[in-house]
């Protein structure tokens, strides 16, 4: 059921999304993207977290309950430590996907001051057949720095999250 949303090409969703955005009065606002971006990330992130949660050993939770923790205490104190790698994996994936998204930003944002980086850089630095290569490369570097920082900060847990959430077979 979760992957059903990926059977529909994103370009087919422009008409219903445009209608929704206009009904809500969110034309040319970042609120439109805030409303749209979760529709791209939630299905895969839900599937990824479900796979990760299935791989967490139930025995650890049982042991905590044997040690005197209540079910609520296990959920509050033990479970978060076990699922941090999976949550970080989902955060990094969502951050990367939204950072690189171009099509919906191009469709729903027209003001230069509200454009996302992935939209603003090509619009500002490409004029017809003229590419301002120096500025484009500088923008690409500065755009990739936040992504590199996020990946480097969480690389160990990111890999652990992907390997623990993998389907066993």
pLDDT per residue as tens digits for the range 32-71? 999 999 888 888 888 888 888 888 788 888 888 899 999 8
76-90 mean pLDDT: 84
Domains and CATH numbers, the chain: 9-164 (1.10.3720.10)
Q: How far apart are CA 3 and CA 65, in angstroms?
A: 35
Place 160 in a pLDDT band, splitting at 50, 70 and 90. low
Average pLDDT taken over every residue of the chain: 84
Q: What is the pTM of this model?
A: 0.72
Burial class (CB in 10 A: 0-12, 13-18, 19+), 104: buried
Supply 148's token pair.
């590199």
Q: How far apart are CA 150 and CA 159, in angstroms?
A: 13
106-117 mean pLDDT: 88
Can you give the pLDDT at residue 20? 92
Can you give the pLDDT at residue 169? 46
Can you give the pLDDT at residue 100? 84
Can you give the pLDDT at residue 56? 78
In sequence order, the β-bridge partners of residue 126 are: 131
């Amino acid at each position: 059921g979760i992957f059903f949303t990926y059977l529909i090409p994103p370009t087919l969703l422009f008409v219903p999304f445009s209608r929704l955005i206009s009904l809500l009065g969110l034309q040319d606002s970042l609120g439109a993207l805030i409303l749209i971006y979760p529709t791209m990330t939630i299905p895969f992130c839900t599937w990824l977290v479900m796979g990760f949660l299935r791989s967490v050993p139930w025995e650890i939770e049982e042991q905590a309950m044997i040690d005197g923790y209540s079910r609520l205490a296990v959920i509050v104190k033990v479970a978060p430590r076990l699922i941090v790698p999976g949550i970080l994996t989902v955060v990094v994936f969502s951050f990367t996907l939204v950072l690189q998204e171009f099509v919906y930003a191009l469709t729903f944002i027209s003001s230069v001051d509200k454009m996302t980086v992935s939209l603003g850089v090509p619009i500002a630095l490409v004029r017809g057949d003229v590419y301002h290569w120096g500025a484009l490369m500088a923008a690409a570097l500065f755009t990739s720095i936040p992504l590199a920082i996020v990946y480097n900060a969480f690389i160990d847990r990111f890999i652990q999250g992907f390997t623990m959430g993998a389907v066993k077979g």
